[in-house]
Amino acid sequence: MFAVIVHTLDPFAIEISSGFGIRWYGISYAAGFFLGWLLLRELARRERIGLTMLQVSDLMTYLIMGVVIGGRVGHVIFYEPHLLITFHSSLPWWGLLDIHKGGMSSHGGIIGSMIASVLFARRVRLPILHLFDCVAFVAPFGLCFGRLANWVNAELWGKPLPESMQANPPWWAVKYPAEILESNFPVAKLASLQSLVNPAEPLPEAVYRAAYLHRTDVLAKLEPLLTAYYPSNFIQAFTDGPILLLVMVIVWLNPRRPGVIAGVFLVTYGAARTTSEQFRQIDDGVFMIGSLTLPMLLSLAMIIGGIALIVWASRQAIKPMGGLLSHK
């Protein structure tokens, strides 16, 4: 219908009652963990990694806790520290626990998964660096689906396309009806839609509601009034998912010393995230140093740490492990 992508998705897959139900956000995370479990389980079955199939299942339990807790705590600390002291009268009472409202940090999730891996490695007496390699190898599934979940929730918008492209934006551009709810949106632009919506509601809210009810008559008139943005969610889903996994697959075709794959993950993800952040809007109030936002700074730290890990691991007198191809 449209020459661009217009966001009209409901965040609920199944809404049981108002504001409560099964969200696509949660389904996306579950899908990421499930695919990661399947891949690690297959590698264990083929004896390509140093874990048994049973240990893979136990590890995923640790990782789920690590990613969820780390992702949420990381988001609050990095981007919304005020939630640490925000309390309210309804469940779950504490702003930190309002995970149903969204707000997960991929960097925090990575830190949480690393802590979970250390705890699991100590419990089952496995080499920590090899476990890092295994976890890093399947992380792209969660990162990719996490970005798609952000799209469903209409979060983390891209930057507006250049003014020269707004009149005739390319097919991959994204528009958000939620733009009309922003305080700086000129309500007068919506005058042509006045007769199509409920006159008892404020015009922006009425138009927004009609758009998400998939009213084609409303969307046809609304779409040309909206700003076209870069599809940052899809860009990051692609770089943090298929591209990141492909790089690690190529490197791990043959056995590597423990820690090398984890280092490759850190370097590749850090570089991909630093690049893709150029297309994403800067979060309000986010910490910056010059033109570098906090996500970029964290990604640069990952690149430096990854390079150091690759160099250090490559020099260790440890037998290479893993490898996707059979060497028997």
Cis peptide before 92 (omega within 30 of 0): yes
Same domain, 109 and 250: yes
Same domain, 148 and 293: yes
Whole-model pTM over 0.75: yes
Same domain, 240 and 118: yes
How many domains does the chain contain in total? 2
Maximum CA extent, the chain: 75
CA angle 104, 281, 28 (to 5 degrees): 35
Same domain, 259 and 303: yes
Comparing 88-92, 192-196, 247-251, 297-301, the range with the smallest average pLDDT is 88-92
Structure tokens at 87: 């309390």
* Burial zone of 122 (CB within 10 Å; 0-12 exposed, 13-18 middle, 19+ buried): exposed
Same domain, 62 and 201: no
Same domain, 150 and 264: yes
State the first-to-last Cα distance of the chain, in angstroms, to the nearest integer.
Answer: 55
327 in any annotated domain: no
- Over residues 156-166, the mean pLDDT reads 95
Domain carrying residue 265:
9-157+230-314
Q: Determine the Cα–Cα distance for residues 112 and 74; give it in Å rounded to an integer.
A: 9
Same domain, 112 and 88: yes
Same domain, 21 and 122: yes
Q: Say what the pLDDT of residue 328 is.
A: 53
Q: Say what the pLDDT of residue 77 is.
A: 87
Q: Say what the pLDDT of residue 101 is.
A: 67
322 in any annotated domain: no
Higher local confidence (pLDDT), 189 or 126: 189
- Over residues 282-288, the mean pLDDT reads 82
171 in any annotated domain: no
320 in any annotated domain: no
Structure tokens at 174: 């994204």
Dump pLDDT digits (tens) for 64-103: 999 989 988 888 888 888 888 888 887 778 878 787 666 7
Same domain, 16 and 48: yes
163 in any annotated domain: no
Same domain, 181 and 295: no
169 in any annotated domain: no
328 in any annotated domain: no
Contact between 325 and 254 (Cβ < 8 Å): yes
Structure tokens at 319: 């037998």
284 in any annotated domain: yes
Q: Determine the Cα–Cα distance for residues 255 and 156; give it in Å rounded to an integer.
A: 38
Same domain, 188 and 268: no
- Over residues 257-281, the mean pLDDT reads 96
57, pLDDT greater than 90: yes
